[in-house]
Structure 1
């Protein structure tokens, strides 16, 4: 159907129509009155003049026509997507039309496949009428996904895991003050990676994620201090391992009580700092598993760590019988000792996994949760690290082990990082004795939803538009990224939009779309030039 865009209320349009009509009449009259022209030339000239008038009339009236088409699907590619990848996706989906954010017209399509991540929120908001699918594009040597703990306790193992599109086999590592905390080789292509290290700082901490010699970005997290605890050593005989560990605990602000049996009915007691009446953690050897103090501590929900094992199979059976644990070991080598890390050696055994058991990453140490916490270390000796001057390695080992023996902290919070500005994030709060309805985040509050299973645990969701460090629960903090990991930030934004617009296409009725078409201005210009040229050439051909 053809229609015209003619404004009848505009006098100028009527004037133009009148001039066109006069032009047609004058041209026809002059051509007919010209006696020097043959009948054939008069016909040609009349046709050309009428055609020119019709072109002028068409340009003024601007005729348009509509065309009914079935629903259409287009591929919308981000600016960062190369042509080869764009064409590959287009061919695989059998899509004839590929558009860019600059040329996108939402009225023409009822479904869109997004390729890449570089889409502005304004563009995504224009996709509310379309069904949306998303195909991410992995930029070479860029992190595509990453995750770490936004808040950790000192000594707790911080784990950074993600995926990277590597252009070749190379090494990715975490660095702090030019020191490598952990590293791993990634092969060519899209590859997952996991880096981990025990948190050894306090407060706001920044580490760098480095690929070969190129810094990819900064990993920011908050380290909360370990609460000073009361430790009690129950020893058969004094030894360097226990004495060195007790001194280290005392220097870190903990109260320590050492009880050693020198002979029958003769014992020695040494106190470092001021010890409380009841210990929070007992450190002993398997021969004291049936000790009344040890059994009472487990029954009260406290933690017990067994060190100085000599025969792990027999020692674990003894501990299981006395405390009801389910420790299991298996021999993995005939060597007397096996190297671990940081110059450490361990007994040639491995702890078998059990559902109630938590292994310390990187070390042959496991913690089982029964009424209390029961830990077993297969490490041979750690005090040589201290004697050799490698205090950092010694701190790293024992901070990682003892962090798992800590009792639950009051008002502890967990946040999955990275947290991006403008993207919804989640906070989990544990051990809330007063059950507040909200948690404080900077100057705002977050509504908490309590778990039906654990009445002291809750979670809340928030969106922060500002960037930087923000306090949480008075003593903690989290970092909101604005410019870090731009690819991941854009991916999260696109993922949020696609999930919001995801619809089930099964059984959907395909609607008819009406598209309006008109002749472009360049076509009108071409017609004018062609017609005027013909009128100019025609007299010369007849002369």
Structure 2
């Protein structure tokens, strides 16, 4: 309590009691004690009573201070300066001059004079900064981190479908290195990385179902670095495909035959004349009534819709609305464009940023899974702009996107620019044709993750590092995490609004390896996720935190070098000493 806070109820009550005791003593002692002695004893009693009041009040004093700075060392921290107080976070080891703290909130509470913190090393989990009120963070990472800057691949694939690993590996020197993908079935694909070409895509086609941990190998100067790559292979199942055909053509007819051979369930609506259509069911039971393949229910069950440009234009307003809703909820749409499409570059109202490249040309398509370059195929004279988020599925040999898509809600809208892929079959290149269309379908088909569990910073979570599990379902309940050692742990939900379709669970993995996650609301569904060792993928962790930290905004309201007032407690030992001395003298005088 500071003097400026007086009076308070507490001080008034204790003060009145002390004055009453002093007055009563004077009244009782005035007849028996002489005037000077009574004055001395009264002063001593007043000191005793006042000391007791101060012990109860716990007074404080104001102290003007300058805002200061500190240095925070995180994992893989830089050199420590001599001019600033130094703190260490997340178990980072330091010498005797380094003060260990559990989190930034602790630093803010215990050191109110610190308003600027310079962070060195991998950085901080972005969640750390959200709890701050006064401290401004400055991250000292100046250069783009060397090594893996980002990595993306599907956590779960179906048997014989592409396990496509994409990423970026940045190197500062002019040297080159090789990145190789190794699965449980052996070495699958590799690519050379240089400073000018840091991006890479590696492909594998696993056949055996199960949980596996493959490897990404970085080979440079005869040294090999091994990083774990966990993935899950599920049994192959058929897709539900809808095909809209405005007129008969070889491309669509061959594609329907291939879909049939692959055991996919296909519904076809082909236009015969104005407002008249023929319907075909492939690998489906025959229906007596005409199927409503563009109904809300049918689109909700479908994984992919394939259509030519004219079929989409002929849809009614109601059909377009239902199709757009289905795409937003996860349906994939693939357009087979005609020669006029580049003029509008529109797919159901979704505009692709493109420019024409002249006349049609024949290009070879690169199929990494076969380790060959296909026969040249005719491609529309279109190139995609870098200003738009476009995800390539299949490239040409010259790295031009041949099949690509844009994300729309939970679904994908794609376009395939190669004309006449059926000529591969005519030229006895059936495997090329099958691989091409398998990649296209896998890239666009609905991603069935209604009850999927994954890490928020997928693809990895690190042992002994803050993480978050995301459960893509409306169910909000406790989750049970079970490690390979048998240890079980309960984690509580944190609802992320407005993302009402997902629930986030803050999580601190205690062990590396495969773990099982089960919702207490649905114990029949168990998901497997993988936690990597703390010393693995360090550059990827550094890059992910570096990118997240670069978006952290200052939360301080006090400028550096500005004065501010803090309140310090007066040590109570002084009041106890004064009390004892005054009591001793008073006792001696009374004696």
Give the 3 Å change call, closer, same or farther, for CA 275–452 of structure 1 in structure 2. Answer: farther
Do 2:260 and 2:282's aligned partners in 1 also have CA atoms closer than 8 Å?
no
Normalising by the residue count of structure 1, what TM-score does the alignment of the two structures yield? 0.56
Provide the C-alpha distance between the structure 1 equivalents of 2:360 and 2:243, rounded to a whole number of angstroms: 30
TM-score calculated relative to the size of structure 2: 0.53
Is the CA contact (8 Å cut-off) linking 2:210 and 2:234 kept in structure 1? yes
Structure 2 unaligned runs (5+)?
1-67, 87-91, 101-110, 123-135, 327-331, 368-373, 396-400, 483-487, 519-524, 565-591
1:479 CA drift (Å): 1.2
Measure, in 2, the Cα distance between the counterparts of 1:355 and 1:226.
Answer: 33
Greater gyration radius: 1
Aligned to 2:382: 349
Asked whether the 8 Å contact 1:294–1:304 carries over to 2, the reply is no
Which residue number in structure 1 is paired with residue 477 of structure 2? 437
Q: Which residue of 2 aligns with 1:23?
A: none
- Deviation at residue 460 of structure 1 after TM alignment: 1.9
Offset at 1:456? 1.5
Q: 2:312 aligns with which of 278, 289, 302?
A: 289
Tell me the SS of whatever aligns to 2:531: strand
Q: Distance in 2 between matches of 1:481 and 1:171?
A: 24
Q: 1:393 to 1:260 in 2, by over 3 A?
A: closer
Per the alignment, residue 6 of structure 1 pairs with none
User: How far apart in 2 are the matches of 1:455 and 1:169?
Assistant: 48
1:353-364 to 2 correspondence within 5 Å?
A: 360=393, 362=395, 363-364=401-402
Q: Which moved more, 1:215-224 or 1:255-264?
A: 255-264
Q: Give the CA deviation at 1:380.
A: 2.0
- Is 2:426 aligned against 1:420? no
* Shift of residue 462, structure 1, vs aligned partner: 0.7
Superposed counterparts of 1:446-525, under 5 Å: 446-472=491-517, 474=525, 476-482=527-533, 485=536, 487-488=538-539, 506-507=560-561
2:181 to 175, 191, 210: 175
Alignment equivalent of 1:104, drawn from 96, 102, 117 = 96
User: Helix, strand or coil: the match of 2:366?
Assistant: coil
Q: Give 3-state SS (helix, strand or coil) of 2:305's partner.
A: strand
Q: The residue matched to 2:500 in structure 1 has which SS? A: coil
Cα distance in 2 between the residues matched to 1:225 and 1:75: 52
* Equivalent residues of 2:188, 2:204 under 8 A apart: no
Matched, 1:406 2:446: yes
Aligned residues: 409
Could you tell me which residue of structure 2 aligns to residue 369 of structure 1? 408
Aligned mates of 1:137, 1:330 — CA distance in 2: 37
Q: Which residue of 2 aligns with 1:256?
A: 266
Q: Distance in 1 between matches of 2:361 and 2:75?
A: 60
Partner of 1:208: 216
Q: Kindly state the Cα deviation for residue 225 of structure 1 after the two structures are TM-superposed.
A: 6.9
- Cα displacement (A) at 1:480: 0.9
Question: Contact (CA 8 Å) 1:422, 1:463: kept in 2 or not?
Answer: yes
Aligned to 1:39: none
Question: Could you say which residue in structure 2 is the equivalent of 1:125?
Answer: none
Q: In the alignment, which residue of structure 1 is the partner of 2:357?
A: 332
Secondary structure of the corresponding residue to residue 419 of structure 2: coil
Q: 1:215 to 1:282 in 2, by over 3 A?
A: same
List alignment gaps of at least 5 residues for structure 1: 1-71, 118-130, 511-543
Could you report, residue by residue, the CA deviation over 1:131-171 in whole angstroms, capped at 9, with x for unpaired residues?
99986799x9x846554357355568855435555654213
Q: 1: distance between equivalents of 2:318 and 2:539?
A: 50
Question: Residue 313 of structure 1 is aligned with which of 327, 334, 342?
Answer: 342
3-state DSSP of counterpart to 2:359? coil
d(CA) in 2 for partners of 1:75 and 1:356?
A: 38
- TM-superposed CA distance for 1:428, in Å, is 2.5
Contact 1:424 1:461 in 2 (8 A): yes
User: How far is 1:486 from its partner?
Assistant: 6.5
Corresponding residue of 1:161: 167
Are the aligned partners of 1:359 and 1:366 in contact in 2 as well (CA < 8 Å)? yes
Distance 1:308 1:184 in 2: 34
What are the Cα deviations for residues 406-451 of structure 1, in whole angstroms up to 9, with x where unaligned? 1653113342132111111122233x24x22234443444323333
Matches of 2:246 and 2:74, distance apart in 1: 69
Secondary structure of 1:287's counterpart equals: helix
* Contact 1:440/1:472, CA 8 A, preserved across alignment: yes
Is 2:276 aligned against 1:272? no
Counterparts in 2 of 1:181 and 1:240: CA distance versus 1, 3 Å: farther
Aligned pairs for 1:180-191 within 5 A: 181=189, 183-187=191-195
Is contact 1:150–1:220 with CA below 8 Å preserved after alignment? no
